[in-house]
Amino acid sequence: ISDTQGLPVTFVVLARKEEKIAFSFEDSLLKNLTLKYNFSLIETADRFDDLPYQKTKIFRIDNHGNEEVHRRFAAAIKENLNLAIYS
């Protein structure tokens, strides 16, 4: 899409720092690919420094993020898109 249609491609990493450490190989691979192909990368891990892991889930046995988590993801994406649009 990026080359043939001229549309920018952006990857959003929806992960906390602990998850980025646990999946460091995958994180490194994604960073290398975005550099190689000139894709954008939005990191969200720093958005969760003040939020305990237990308070990020809908239910204790479900790993799906709750409303607060989605709000923080959306804010990170919006900020990065606004920077790209207005720079």
The Cα–Cα gap between 61 and 9 comes to 33
Report the pLDDT value the prediction gives residue 84, as an integer from 0 to 100: 65
User: How many Cβ atoms sit within 10 Å of the Cβ of residue 13?
Assistant: 20
What are 45's two structure tokens? 């891990």
Report the pLDDT value the prediction gives residue 59, as an integer from 0 to 100: 81
Sequence-ordered strand ranges (E) for 1-87: 10-13, 40-43
Side chain identity at 64, as an amino acid letter? H
- Contact between 59 and 65 under an 8 Å Cβ cutoff? The reply is no
The Cα–Cα gap between 36 and 58 comes to 37
Please write the tens of the pLDDT for every residue from 55-82: 888 887 777 889 999 999 999 999 888 7
CA atoms within 13 A on the CB side of 59: 2
Report, as an integer, the average pLDDT of 10-20: 87
Is residue 14 very low, low, confident or very high in pLDDT (cuts 50, 70, 90)?
confident
